[in-house]
């Protein structure tokens, strides 16, 4: 049970080790009442290709980062409040098996475990932590989540016009509303989306823009993006910063995940 680990020396030691592995590049993780529930390596589907990432499940947040030296050094720390998280299991009929979606307000992505058992363990522990957090804190689960971006290598031409072929000059862009890979002309509009862009309008495809235009907006007005179509900014995707870093992560074999709390009450 998570409760027995609160304020325990073992839990404090584990959290301190995680903080030490991220070093000065990471945020402090030691908070009163916070428990490290489990940790392990998962394969995260990034824009360009799948990559191993170190994940840490706490009773109130999910943390992950790039592996520089396994069990010793991580960087590019990402922290996700669990009340924002929604899980969706993926069918094992594609190129990757034992996967599920982690959907949040600002960013949604797919992760894959090494085995079906590991997938079940991760999903069960995350789900239990979310349920306990919402029950104890009185917080409400977030209902609106960001779209899962289609990986770059799954689209050689624009997914909307089906004409523009992507090259060095014709860069890929992702619609922040539906996650499709589209060309510049098919994504030259912007609109405000909950949880994205820090309140500023973000790039969307013409189909999503037109659909939103039919509904009277109660937020900031939709805006054209004709004045600024600098490909380097939007094609990189602000929320995915650091996830395409190839500076490390050369080890393919990783230990099984460790969970420090039993799901049995």
- Which residues in the chain are classed under CATH 3.30.40.10? 152-215
CATH topology of domain 152-215: Herpes Virus-1 (3.30.40)
Greater confidence (149 vs 265) lies with: 149
Query: Which of these ranges, 16-30, 49-63, 224-238, has the smallest mean pLDDT?
Result: 224-238
Q: Which CATH architecture has domain 2-145?
A: Roll (2.30)
The DSSP element (H or E) to which 232 belongs, if any, is helix 231-234
The CB-side HSE value for 239 (13 A sphere, CA atoms) comes to 25
Question: In this predicted model, which residue has the larger pLDDT, 141 or 22?
Answer: 22
Is 190 in contact with 204 (CB distance < 8 Å)? yes
pTM of the model: 0.80
State residue 220's pLDDT score. Answer: 52
Residue 252, pLDDT score: 53
CA distance 126 to 121: 9
Is residue 98 within 8 A of residue 114, CB to CB? The reply is: yes
Domain ranges in the chain with CATH number 2.30.29.30: 2-145
pLDDT the model gives residue 48: 85
| CB contact at 8 A, 104 and 87 | no
């Amino acid at each position: 049970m998570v409760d027995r680990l609160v304020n325990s020396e073992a839990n404090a030691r584990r959290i301190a080790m995680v903080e030490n592995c991220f070093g000065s590049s990471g945020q402090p993780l030691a908070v009163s009442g916070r428990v490290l529930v489990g940790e392990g390596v998962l394969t995260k589907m990034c824009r360009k290709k799948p990559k191993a990432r170190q994940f840490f499940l706490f009773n109130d947040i999910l943390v992950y980062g790039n592996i520089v030296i396994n069990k010793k050094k991580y960087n590019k720390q990402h922290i996700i409040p669990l009340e924002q998280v929604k899980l969706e299991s993926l069918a094992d009929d594609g190129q990757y098996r034992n996967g599920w979606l982690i959907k949040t307000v600002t960013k949604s992505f797919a992760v894959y475990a090494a085995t079906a058992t590991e997938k079940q363990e991760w999903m069960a522990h995350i789900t239990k932590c979310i349920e306990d957090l919402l029950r104890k804190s009185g917080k409400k689960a977030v209902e609106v989540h960001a779209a899962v971006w289609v990986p770059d290598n799954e689209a050689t031409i624009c997914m909307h016009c089906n004409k523009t072929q992507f090259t060095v000059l014709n860069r890929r862009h992702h619609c922040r509303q539906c996650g499709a890979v589209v060309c510049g002309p098919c994504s030259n509009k912007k609109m405000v989306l909950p949880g994205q862009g820090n309140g500023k309008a973000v790039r969307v495809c013409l189909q999503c823009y037109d659909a939103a235009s039919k509904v009277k907006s109660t937020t900031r007005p939709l805006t054209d993006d004709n004045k600024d179509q600098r490909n380097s900014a939007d094609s990189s995707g602000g929320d995915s910063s650091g996830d395409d870093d190839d500076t490390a992560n050369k080890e393919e074999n990783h230990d099984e995940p460790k969970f420090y709390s039993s799901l049995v009450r």
